[in-house]
Amino acid sequence: MIRQVCITCGAEYGADEVIYSCKRCGDLLDVEYDYEALAERLEGSDWRSLPLSVWRYRDFLPICDLSKVVTLKEGGTGLHQCSRLSNLLGVKRLYVKNEGENPTGSFKDRGMTVGVTKALELDVKTVICASTGNTSASLAAYAAKAGLRCIVLIPSGKTAYGKLAQAMIYGAEVVQIRGNFDQALRIVLKLSERHREVYLLNSINPYRLEGQKSLAYEICDQLNGKAPDRVILPMGNAGNISAVWKGLTEFHRLGLIDDLPRMVGIQAEGASPIARAIKLGSDVVTPVERPETVATAIRIGAPVSWKKAVRALRESSGVAETVTDEEILDAQRMLARCEGLFVEPASASSIAGLRKLVELGEIDKDEVVVCVATGHGLKDPDIVMKMCGRPLEADAEVGSIEKLLGLTQAFR
């Protein structure tokens, strides 16, 4: 039996009720299962023989009609052991879970395959979201595959071109508002409350987070049934860290891992309401009025899922940390040059955070660490070109290129 449950007052709602917050107290909802029945179902299931992907975990997901699944082959992303980078940072075993390998280049695809499938189960015809870029790119792709109308609100200012191009080519109706992300989210929430035909697929929708929890399942399976000591993630709206923690606790509850890792949430200094609260020992998050950071995907001042994130960090004896834009861009370059992994700035904040926490002595060199790289670097090429400068130039002639590159050891 699947139900939606309020995280604060425990009020319960049916699985097919279209609802984004508790009617009694207004707080967030979680999807809950009958875990004894799930454990029994797993006994008779062939899930372990399926290829690594979101739908390998179909028994753990809130979808009843598998014939409706909308998939672009999401999940199954690489867990890369990064020995050159771990030497530099001073940790023994570092892995990067490269979510840029997903169909639209970010972890959002895990949530959208489940969220858009749920939309078909609910028989809605229009999906909507507010987005700093990746959510819209992902929703637009899955809506296209499902034949649904897709509406996207993006904030004013520059949305990374790679992401905007994706939303446009997949055919979403993209509206840029004169306002920031937090205002865009308030508007789409209002629209979905006022119009029953509009289904909201921001991370306030608990079904989307159910897809995202598969990231945690995959990490444990890729480490042969063991959880790492730490999982480090960037936090924007904080839906992903909440989803990953839910996945980990579910695997633990079902006896599929013995230990739980400590969660680490990283925010950019100019957009760090959760990290600030955690560092101050407070469980209440005060929004930041004008969030600012080069990592546009996490430029969020009022994180929707802050309560779930605080719970994940507290329950796991985790930590939160802030990193500067300079530290983020340094980490982005370091990961690309040491490991051949090109990730976007928001994703690189997990590496920047690891570097800082090792330096502070908070993370021990013997720990097994997984950094989640949430999105592909090509999403935002402008930032890279600014950082790396222009290519070298030369005449189209062998001699001048030899000179430019210092190639002196000619064959005799």
Selected binder of ligand PLP within 62, 162, 239, 377 (CB under 6 A)? 239
CB of 5 to ligand PLP, least distance (A): 20
Selected binder of Zn ion within 22, 130, 188, 264 (CB under 5 A)? 22
Span of 3-11, 55-63, 237-245, 355-363 interacting with ligand PLP by CB under 6 A: 237-245
383 binds, among ligand PLP, Zn ion, none (CB under 5 to 8 A by kind): none
Distance CA 110, CA 272 (A): 25
Residue 238 interacting with ligand PLP (CB under 6 A): yes
Residue 298 interacting with ligand PLP (CB under 6 A): yes
Residue 234 interacting with ligand PLP (CB under 6 A): yes
CB of 26 to Zn ion, least distance (A): 7
Question: How many residues sit in the footprint of ligand PLP (CB under 6 A)?
Answer: 19
Report yes or no: 250 and 212 within 8 Å, Cβ to Cβ: no
Residue 102 interacting with ligand PLP (CB under 6 A): no
25 binds, among ligand PLP, Zn ion, none (CB under 5 to 8 A by kind): Zn ion
Selected binder of ligand PLP within 132, 166, 202, 316 (CB under 6 A)? 132
CB of 179 to ligand PLP, least distance (A): 17
Residue 5 interacting with Zn ion (CB under 5 A): no
The contact mask relative to ligand PLP for 374-403 (x = CB under 6 A, - = no) is xx----------------------------
> Buried b vs exposed e over 320-338: b needs ≥16 C-beta within 10 Å?
bbbbbbebbbbbbebbbeb
Residue 341 interacting with ligand PLP (CB under 6 A): no
347 binds, among Zn ion, ligand PLP, none (CB under 5 to 8 A by kind): ligand PLP
237 binds, among Zn ion, ligand PLP, none (CB under 5 to 8 A by kind): ligand PLP
Residue 346 interacting with ligand PLP (CB under 6 A): yes
Span of 7-15, 311-319, 341-349, 393-401 interacting with ligand PLP by CB under 6 A: 341-349
Residue 7 interacting with Zn ion (CB under 5 A): no
Q: Summarize as ranges the residues that interact with ligand PLP (CB under 6 A).
A: 106, 132, 134-135, 203, 234-240, 297-298, 344, 346-347, 374-375
